[in-house]
Amino acid sequence: MKIYLDHSATTPPDPEVALLMNKVQKEFWGNASSAHSFGLGARNILNEARDTVAFSLNCQPEEVIFTSGGSESNNLAIKGLIDAYHSNTDQKNNRATPHVITSAVEHHSVLDTVKELEKQGLIEASYVTPQKNGVIRVEDIDAEIKDNTVLVSIMYVNNEIGTVQPIKQIAQMIAKNNELRIMNNGKKSNVTEPNKHNSSFFIHNSGNKFAKQIYFHTDAVQAMEYFQTGVRYLGVDLLTFSAHKFYGPKGVGALFVKNGTPIIRQIVGGNQENKMRAGTENVAGIAGLSAALVKMHKAKADSKIEESGKLLPELILYDETKRLKQLRDKLIKGLMKIPDTRVNGCLKRRSPNNVNVSFKNAEGESILLMLDKEGIAASSGSACTSGSLEPSHVLTAIGVSPEWSHGSIRFSLGKHNTEEEIDRVIEILPGIIKKLRQMSPYGK
């Protein structure tokens, strides 16, 4: 029996999606930028897909930029906005450095991008630490906002521990700060008068878009299938997602850019994607993304959707999320019977498909290898870097000690997983942990 429990890494492409992509490759292979009929056919596919994404996100088609996936979208959102800031003529003669707020538990495509810009001296950065359960407090982000803050980037659902951040509430807090800036001539508060030597100087030019606006970006790569992602509902300016996380193809994703949000493209050499991303579009991949979205929405439309409760109102509680929650909770209950085991991350504000557990004094990579020999695919919360095992930055940020974090495993469920498969994992894993603890230097 082969058991795949690594859906947060990637999902198996839906067979119907793959068939459609093959058809598009064969019949609509023209360049969408070409004026002839071959190009028109490809362009029609793109336009239909853009309309589908716009419907899914409750936005306008022109606000959708197709990319190669989540990492590129995150780079475009962050670097594009910071480049726009530095290119703004109103910033040329001031000494302000734009300030970016993110969290210590972001995907590396956000964290590393922010750190790179910070190292280059292009931004100041604040890294908000979440609570021990992995959830970020809105007030902790608010406390970091300064007069020169231009961007907040917080992921919707954590890719490692599955915790769900209060994106809508963060957006509401940012909106209030933006209102205060307008009322106070660009400042968060009206306590001190600015001068040209402090960081708030740039915001006092009334013609400057950045003067009174903090923009909000969320990485929703892990959220699309199970959570509310309507951008008007969330209140975000920028939103990232990737097709291969919901049974679509790899190598294709999208970035929502709210009309009026200043972004400078990062790939030049063509006018594709509303002049926001140069390069011939991956028409078949984009068609696959669209088809996967359609199937996802059909599954929800065919289900009875229930209220998800006050603790996690963002969750769309339809047949599949209910089924996954039951499997997830059964797996957690079974694994917690193993001595010296803990669950990482909040249990109440958590993705329905995520189980991240740590086994004290066991080594995560060895657990994975032994699971793989049993036909079970999962992933580790640790990463092997330069030959040495380093604990997950997410687990470190929420205060998990090395003796626990080195033994962390992420099981992420999907639509093909069964109760029988969960029973198999619960049956196999105790013996693996016992054996590894006897062998591991961590257990001695």
346 annotated active-site:
no
Position 413 scores a pLDDT of 99
Q: Domains in the chain, ordered, with CATH?
A: 58-280 (3.40.640.10), 308-443 (3.90.1150.10)
Q: Is the pLDDT of residue 74 over 80?
A: yes
Task: Quickly state the pLDDT bin for 235 (edges 50, 70, 90).
Answer: very high
Position 93 scores a pLDDT of 58
Q: Extract the tokens encoding 275.
A: 């002049």
Q: Which one of 384, 418, 423, 435 is the catalytic residue?
A: 384
Task: Quickly state the pLDDT bin for 80 (edges 50, 70, 90).
Answer: very high
Q: Is the pLDDT of residue 408 over 90?
A: yes
Least confident of 16-20, 80-84, 204-208: 204-208
Position 182 scores a pLDDT of 87
Mean of the per-residue pLDDT values of the chain:
91
Least confident of 38-52, 103-117, 176-190, 260-274: 176-190
The fraction of the chain above a pLDDT of 70, given in percent, is 90
Question: pLDDT by residue (tens digit) across 29-69?
Answer: 999 999 999 999 999 999 999 999 999 999 999 999 999 99
Q: Is the pLDDT of residue 209 over 70?
A: no
Question: pLDDT by residue (tens digit) across 265-306?
Answer: 999 999 999 999 999 999 999 999 999 999 999 999 999 999
